[in-house]
Amino acid sequence: MPKLTIDGIEFEAEAGSSVLQACEALGIEIPRFCYHERLSVAGNCRMCLVEMERSPKPVASCAMPVAEGMVIHTNTETVKKARNGVMEFLLINHPLDCPICDQGGECDLQDQAMAYGKDSSRYHEHKRAVKDKYMGPLVKTIMTRCIHCTRCVRFATEIAGVPELGLLGRGEGAEISTYLEKALASELSGNVIDLCPVGALTSKPYAFHARSWELGKTESIDAMDAVGAAIRIDSRGNEVMRVLPRLNDDVNEEWLSDRSRFACDGLRRQRLDKPYVRGADGKLAPASWDEALAAVTSKLGGIDGSKIAAIAGDQCDAESMFALKSLMESLGSPNLDCRQEGAVLDGSGARAGYIFNSGFAGIEDADALLIVGSNPRIEAPVVNARIRKRWLLGDFPVGVIGQQADLTYEYDYLGAGPQTLGEIASGKHPFAKVLQKAERPMIIVGMGALARTDGAAVLAAARKVAEDTGAAGRDWNGFNILHTASARVGGLDLGFVPGEGGRDVAGIMEGAEKGNIEAVYLLAADEIDMNRFGKAFVIYQGHHGDMGAHRADVILPGAAYTEKSGTWVNSEGRVQRGQRAAFPPGEAKEDWTILRALSGVMDKTLPFDTLTALREQMARAYPVFATLDDLVPAQWGAFGTADGALGEGAFAPAIANFYMTCPISRASETMAECTAVFVNGGKEATGTDG
Amino acid sequence: MSEQFEFTADNVEKANAFIARYPEGRQRSAVMPLLDLAQRQNGGWLPDGAVETIAGILGMAPIRVLEVATFYSMYKLAPVGKHRINVCTTTPCWLRGSDEVVHACKTSLGIEIGETTADGEFTLAEVECAGACVNAPVVEIGDEYYEDVDAESMTRIIEALKRGEKPDPGSQIGRQTSAPEGGPQVLTGDVTVKQTKSGKAKE
């Protein structure tokens, strides 16, 4: 490791690192615009200049590799002057519009101008002005503010894998643009907003809505998909203004998918803010909590437990599912299910059978990958970026069975359905050799492969492949299930699946149609066919007036994921806790409290009065919930051993429209616009946007 | 989307020859000669279709090709005249009278700088140093350099082009390459070089 001296401190830097990184390791702050630790080095902003002994000029520390015996100064007069000069150049063409700029208050240029800028300009000529570019419904551009750091270009090309952004022209005429000004077609496009060090790329839906310093900032966990990304919810008063990613190297690095970031305007629309009861006229009428709970009690109290069923939705917190399960148990109902899509996974087998065992970070250790019935780009864009990151390093054969989509990396398309998986499982397929040869092979099985009638056989085949190829070895477990719902792993961990002789989702619907199920409790479950509940009494507890609420006989208004402190378990099996950023609207309440109140009215009082007590009981009953944030490796055990023949049909995509997967995103105007532009074939810029 | 562009059979062959110059995996290096080839085929400018076709041939994203095409001023992204007259007006040419040359162009063509004649024959442009200062002022027309140009010779060149002739490129005052004006000024006498014992040349 090369030894160098920085500001008089001798320091042994990591070989291959840059002077800037060495300075950072020493705690010396180096200003920068173009350098970003997750992107390639461009070295074009020149803000990170430092003085190097025996060099006639200051050097760009981001692009200068450390070397033995180097002597670096970061706080000399020369360095200060050099940076002042760079700042003066940058400000020549930068508009003085901070008061009306959305980046104001969280702008790198603003901050660094405080340190290195002058109080006046020596430049008397006209400033340049650049026409704004259309980049789609999410990214607003004010290109005159651009300082050409090319972070967005490098992000789109390297991380997102959509080389659509570029720097056109040169010198004073340089401009950032997408090719022919098309919308930036990436599920990760919102991240360029965070990367932009100035206000050139800002959030279009958030434009002119709030200033960063007037927002309450709540660190939480995303529940829009099963990645469980670390997020920061920015709210003003009781309104969620925006959602930003937080750093979590194990999960989302520092990226966030567009749905998780931009669907938050859906939290303001279509909300259930008071209880409703369907009257004798067949219409839902507002009611008080007492009336609504009494209506539920009178129905549920009069029927046998076996005729009651409960289905948990895709974004439920573990606490409310635990409360609902406890209530159903005390009512004597075994008819529970949390798998709206009907995946064959159940909580009875080994935990390793339904989680992403290697962890998302484990993707970087894998050396071969088989994707079965999943389109990670749509189902978990951040995970897909991780796969791409691994693929870019080379020597990473990827095989795909299922939908043949653009995943932003090259892959061998092996086949469309379970038959191909069967061939690999039997070792006949050439890709089986590829997996066998690999030291740490990985298999990702998506919901498209498991939510089908032959799902059990598919899971068994995938298990066989994992065991035969060493993907499920002693030191390495590359058997990975990629979920699409944030509540799913938590639900499976809680055993929110049919009990002894109980019915699953399909069974509940069939029972309801035939009259064997008389009451159904939907805990924010909206992704099932609501026309199939026959004459059953439907109780809907949730936050949006979506599919479930329309069918419901009683509506109990609950809280969205931003409005409750809850526990979510991501696809990896990582137990994480989200925090409340705002209160539920109107009379709506946090979900576990609704179930606790209902249990009291029904005289089946649940044995917890506080969230802490509930969590303690939950962790005692299901020890998985005792470890927060860290991954506990799951033991390989019995699961997916079911017999059954593999079917013929191709694996269907688990998600039809990336932008609309849940009540929140369906209520979001931003997501509706994205659907119109990206999914329904793209309308052109109208010129009135922004 | 944008209009289609295909290389002619001849140019496909040339393009393949350009691509073959670069080692395996580095074919994208051929982007500049290919852009030039497409521009020549397409009457001096590059439509979006050409950018996309070249991107397809070289396995690049169209934006990467467009970045190159917009970086170099020699690539034109909008239609231009058949004869592109680029007058150098940087300091040495300007000192030697490029203003009059520009004026002569404007008068005989009836257009301003940056414009194209109505018949689509001529485009007039002002360029930065063309790198031939020794024979300033310099005018580049198509692939040829016309040197030691003045208002009178400029007008003559334009008139010849208008008639469809191809005026002789190079110095317009009969200068031999970049020798001094009026012929050689030094080393004019009879020179005999004698070899001395020490090996030094002595006159």
Best interface-test mutation with A: which of B1, B31, B63 has the largest number of A CBs within 10 A?
Answer: B63
Q: At residue A557, what is the residue type?
A: P
Map tokens 């086949």 to a residue. A415
**Residue B52 to chain A, least CA–CA distance (Å):** 10
Map tokens 């010396």 to a residue. A28
Q: To 5 degrees, how large is the angle CA A536–CA A539–CA A540?
A: 130
CATH superfamily of B9-71: NADH-quinone oxidoreductase subunit E (1.10.10.1590)
Residue A79 has pLDDT above 50, yes or no: yes
Nearest alpha carbon to residue A363 among A345, A349, A380: A380
Q: At residue A142, what is the residue type?
A: I
A130 interaction partners in chain B (CB closer than 8 Å): none
**Residue B133 to chain A, least CA–CA distance (Å):** 24
CA atoms of A540 and A547, how far apart (whole Å): 10
B1 interaction partners in chain A (CB closer than 8 Å): 180
CA atoms of B163 and B143, how far apart (whole Å): 19
**Residue A681 to chain B, least CA–CA distance (Å):** 13
pLDDT-derived band at A191 (thresholds 50, 70, 90) equals very high
pTM: 0.92
pLDDT of residue B202: 47
Q: Nearest-CA residue of chain B relative to A166?
A: B63
Condensed to tens digits (0 to 9), the pLDDT of residues A491-524 reads 999 999 999 899 999 999 999 999 999 999 999 9
Supply φ then ψ for residue A186, to 5 degrees: -140, 145
Residue A604 has pLDDT above 70, yes or no: yes
Average pLDDT, chain A: 94
Return the structure tokens found at A459. Answer: 């899971």
pLDDT of residue A689: 46
Q: What percent of chain B is modeled with pLDDT above 90?
A: 82
Lowest mean pLDDT among A598-607, B16-25, B129-138, B179-188: B179-188
Please report the ipTM that was assigned to this predicted complex. 0.88
Condensed to tens digits (0 to 9), the pLDDT of residues B36-54 reads 999 999 999 999 999 999 9
pLDDT-derived band at A682 (thresholds 50, 70, 90) equals low
pLDDT-derived band at B2 (thresholds 50, 70, 90) equals low
Kindly provide the b/e burial profile for residues B158-191, where b requires at least 16 CB atoms within 10 angstroms of the residue's own CB. Answer: beebeeeeebebebbeebeeeeeeeeeeeeeeee
CA-based torsion, A33, A34, A37, A43: positive or negative = negative
Partners of A202 in the β-ladder: A140
**CB-CB under 8 Å, A178 with B70:** no
If DSSP states are collapsed to H, E and C, what string results for A555-597? EEECCCHHHCCEEEECCCCCEEEECCCCCCCCCCCCHHHHHHH
Residue A349 has pLDDT above 90, yes or no: no
Sequence ranges of the domains in chain B: 9-71, 83-171
CA atoms of A595 and A579, how far apart (whole Å): 20
pLDDT of residue B200: 54
Residue B197 has pLDDT above 80, yes or no: no
pLDDT of residue B199: 52
**CB-CB under 8 Å, A170 with B63:** no
Please list the alpha-helical segments (H only) found in B96-149.
98-109
pLDDT of residue A685: 47
Residue B181 has pLDDT above 90, yes or no: no
Condensed to tens digits (0 to 9), the pLDDT of residues A369-393 reads 999 999 999 999 999 999 999 999 9
Condensed to tens digits (0 to 9), the pLDDT of residues B82-134 reads 999 999 999 999 999 999 999 999 999 999 999 999 999 999 999 999 999 99
Residue A641 has pLDDT above 80, yes or no: no
CATH fold match for the domains B9-71 and B83-171: no
Nearest alpha carbon to residue A316 among A98, A556, A523: A523
**CB-CB under 8 Å, A167 with B64:** no
Q: Nearest-CA residue of chain A relative to B71?
A: A169
Q: What is the CATH number of domain B83-171?
A: 3.40.30.10
Q: To 5 degrees, how large is the angle CA B86–CA B90–CA B94?
A: 95
pLDDT of residue A60: 97
Best interface-test mutation with A: which of B28, B70, B77 has the largest number of A CBs within 10 A?
Answer: B70
CA atoms of A365 and A126, how far apart (whole Å): 53
Residue B180 has pLDDT above 90, yes or no: no
B48 interaction partners in chain A (CB closer than 8 Å): 180
A165 interaction partners in chain B (CB closer than 8 Å): 63
Count of positions (residues) in chain A: 690
CA-based torsion, A509, A513, A515, A516: positive or negative = negative
pLDDT-derived band at A463 (thresholds 50, 70, 90) equals very high
Partners of A368 in the β-ladder: A441
Residue B201 has pLDDT above 60, yes or no: no
pLDDT of residue B203: 43
pLDDT of residue A690: 41
CA atoms of A34 and A53, how far apart (whole Å): 24
CA atoms of A122 and A126, how far apart (whole Å): 12
CA atoms of A448 and A425, how far apart (whole Å): 18
Nearest alpha carbon to residue A140 among A104, A97, A184, A109: A184
Residue A215 has pLDDT above 80, yes or no: yes
pLDDT of residue B194: 64
**Residue A12 to chain B, least CA–CA distance (Å):** 37
A180 interaction partners in chain B (CB closer than 8 Å): 1-2, 48
Which residues of A lie closer than 8 Å to B, measured between beta carbons? 157, 163-170, 177-180
Condensed to tens digits (0 to 9), the pLDDT of residues A657-681 reads 999 999 999 999 999 999 999 998 7
Q: Nearest-CA residue of chain B relative to A177?
A: B63
**CB-CB under 8 Å, B2 with A169:** no
Q: How many CA atoms lie within 13 A of B180 on its CB side?
A: 7
pLDDT of residue A332: 94
Are A269 and A669 spatial neighbours (Cβ–Cβ below 8 Å)? yes
